Structure 1
Amino acid sequence: LRPYIADAEVRVQKMLGDGKRALIECAQGPMLDIDFGTYPYVTSSNTLGGMAATGTGLGPNAIGFVLGIVKAYTTRVGEGPFPTELFDNVGKHLAEVGHEKGTVTGRDRRCGWFDAVLVRQTCTTSGVKGIALTKLDVLDGLDELKICTGYRLDGEVLDYLPTAAESQARVEPVYETLDGWKASTAGARSWADLPAAAIKYVRRIEELIDCPVALLSTSPERDDTILVTDPFAD
């Protein structure tokens, strides 16, 4: 391994100094962040977008486009609050069609409706400029789709996830319902290939999270992607 061990910050800084670009991927999801995640059901480190700078030795001003990777529905591995979790046939559909198992542990992922509150909150804390919305095709065939737009807690409707674990465990999702679609989105590579209801779903997500969709993925294949905004464009 010796030939592959080096001072990463020196390498990356030299790359940027030479006019090259670097793609930095942060590990795990932002809601597992030890400071801003669903404590105590978190990991032992920071997982927000800012970790791209501190984890590589770069200054914050060196980070350009922050791309958030988000599924067209919500998943979680292990314990912890999950307001939109589904225990019905729709939940089974998402798990089976989406092949939702943890990549390291192999554990079944918990599945639920898209949580716009959590995604919007994460876009803010991570400085996300655009999202890559993945697995749109998993939603094919569902009669209706729901998006969480808020949480009901003690008679109030919140537009954020409360900090206290006790409160997080008690929130109830407030849903907006949209029509599903029967046509397949699998393999779509342009907006013209998508059913009108699918486009409406994506556009509504953009409005609710206050962040544009930069990439839209419609299958496990690399090329089955609709590029809206190039993260590497100047």
Structure 2
Amino acid sequence: MTALIWIVVVLIIVMLVVALMQGGGADRAQRELADAQADARQAINRLGGQVYLLEGTNPAATQALADAGERYNAAGAQIDHADTPRQAHLAKQTALEGLYYVRAARTAMDMDPGPPVQGLDGQAAAGRVTEVRTVDFEGRQISASPDPSATTPNYFPGGRVAGRPVPAGWYSEAWWRPALIGGMWGVGSMLLFSSLFSGMSGVHYGADAFAQGDTGLDDGGMGDAGIGDGGMGDGGMGDDFGGGLEGFDFGGFDF
């Protein structure tokens, strides 16, 4: 009888310990979610203030602010439905993308770009445009430049799109957007990449590495990074660029 009593006591103690551990784990998960949501909302609110405050004074700034507004709307939708810290983190990443576009717009208007922005996944690995180039592609000219201009009003902060690296820079058209919208690259993308970036000092990898999505550098864990002139920076965390933009219409690009 004594042995049976001890067994019952031990079982009760074990059940109490398990219940306490489960309760503590749930509380910790809730705190982590709340912290991640607050962190994301801070970036979203910062982006919203800039989107509503600024007005573009030239085509490059106007386009960059339009892109920033798209990220602001997407980040707001993401955080409203974020039920896990990971989902909240993705909302923050979308907001950070928008802040890069804001800095690019300010740079295009010869304004102080403002405080640094935390790095995005794949920026350092993707490289950046370091010289002006114009190539003929499928009956039209596509240009890349390290700086905004009347012929290169479309900015990209650098990172991965649909698993492939896209260098930071200013472009005559957003040649990455078909992949951003559809989630896959067209057959001509490898040829375009080779034509635009082959031998460029700021892009250390070739078209084969672009197609494979492997630049030979670590994409993540590079910490915070600022953006210099032209709105470009290094750093890394998060997923593919534009992860929260499904459902947004970016216009008709086809290649």
Higher helix share: 2
In the superposition, the TM-score normalised over structure 2's length comes to 0.26
- Which structure ranks higher in relative contact order (CA pairs < 8 Å, sequence separation ≥ 6)? 2
Higher strand share: 1
